[in-house]
Structure 1
């Protein structure tokens, strides 16, 4: 069956998604970062240098914001096309930004960013919009961990990853998962055994089918949506 980037029916259309992929206009932003920034290539688990401060644009891969309070907790992600302002990161114990899979990140020094203010106000507006999307994603992540059951957290996470890393067919999606099960468990506030049981239950119910360690197929998109109270917010573009 052919897959595409079009989301299956069953979603709503109440405005921009909290985690919607950036618009095609982001290509101009990538070009600016490529011309004026520094490309950082990160291996899996490698930390992104947070000093000196700068503005980062994720080119590919996946970055995780992690803390140690007291154990490791992944509190949010930056996907390809997302913007990260290192100077705006909260002062949390053990805070770090790491790559959950090989990643490439363009980094701009503050001096280079200043030229956007005068030369490209359109790019400045786009930067602000992408920064706002990243903040909303973090708020949704906190809502998932703080308010939802284990199954609801997993379903919400898979919907999020589908919207950012998925290819869609009729009532189905194929999702790339550029992170380990341990990363996923740390993000959702679940232990490894609980996460494994939930994933197995979703598979038995015919909702998902794993395709190796870093890819799965959602065989019943509507069924997955029904398991997440945040489905409308997560799947609206």
Structure 2
């Protein structure tokens, strides 16, 4: 049985420091994350910015009657500005895994972007990449059937935090529980379990434990969802990682 992935294994973060401009890396406050940790969106009432170094985060909203919805997942290299969240108390940024993020006060971060073209280019590309992923996620939840939605989610995880394993497989650790995945995809938890069981029985996936997923045939899995091609071809901040 494979051991759960460590934060150092969870995705192509080896190149992270090579892609983040030194000016950003040097001026951020390093925050160690733990699963379930809420990251405050303000510091003393001032707006904040987070750059994900080595973790998976979830931005979610709680609306009327305590209905909660995950909006987007953030991976190594991604950025989050608290202005991305709508005003009000219902927005949360939550660490799903142990890892590290860099935190900035927005005014200081803005000065870094103004003074350094590489830092500005990094921020702009990160936001563009995240917006593209979120658009795919919204389209999948709104237009695709249950299997296609789940496959798109698995392909996103494989391409963002997956690492090569033996025999051409890709392995990643599920950052969400079954109920959280169902919530994120707008699925019934029983439907989610049924589709995962079918994908395992068809030899596309294996799960040595409830957190670890081995994708045994990435092209075959990707072929089950029309969103896969866009997810697999989207530009990435990191250069290492699995390829189809």
Pick from 89, 92, 97: which aligns with 2:93?
97
Unaligned 5+ runs, structure 2: 1-10, 235-244
TM-score normalised to structure 2 length: 0.80
* 1:53-64 matched pairs, under 5 angstroms: 53-64=47-58
TM-score normalised to structure 1 length: 0.82
Structure 1 residue 93: deviation in Å?
A: 7.0
Query: What does residue 106 of structure 2 align with?
Result: 110
Structure 1 residue 65: deviation in Å?
A: 1.1
The 1:118/1:65 distance shift into structure 2, 3 A limit, reads closer
Query: What does residue 11 of structure 1 align with?
Result: none
Structure 1 residue 24: deviation in Å?
A: 4.9
**3-state SS of the aligned residue for 2:56?**
strand
Query: What does residue 139 of structure 1 align with?
Result: 135
Q: Is the 8 A contact 1:37 1:108 kept in 2?
A: yes
**3-state SS of the aligned residue for 2:225?**
coil
The 1:216/1:45 distance shift into structure 2, 3 A limit, reads same
Query: What does residue 229 of structure 2 align with?
Result: 232
Count residues with an aligned counterpart. Answer: 218
Return the alpha-carbon distance in structure 1 between the equivalents of residues 18 and 157 of structure 2.
22
**3-state SS of the aligned residue for 1:101?**
coil
Query: What does residue 177 of structure 1 align with?
Result: 174
More divergent stretch after superposition (63-72 vs 222-231):
63-72
The 1:139/1:212 distance shift into structure 2, 3 A limit, reads same
Unaligned 5+ runs, structure 1: 1-19
Return the alpha-carbon distance in structure 2 between the equivalents of residues 21 and 85 of structure 1.
23
**3-state SS of the aligned residue for 2:141?**
helix
Whether 1:37 aligns to 2:28 is yes
More divergent stretch after superposition (35-44 vs 220-229):
35-44
The 1:108/1:195 distance shift into structure 2, 3 A limit, reads same
Structure 1 residue 190: deviation in Å?
A: 1.2
Return the alpha-carbon distance in structure 2 between the equivalents of residues 184 and 231 of structure 1.
18
Structure 1 residue 103: deviation in Å?
A: 3.5
Query: What does residue 16 of structure 1 align with?
Result: none
More divergent stretch after superposition (114-123 vs 58-67):
114-123
CA deviation profile, 1:60-81 (whole Å, cap 9, x unmatched) = 1211111124422112111011
Return the alpha-carbon distance in structure 1 between the equivalents of residues 140 and 12 of structure 2.
20
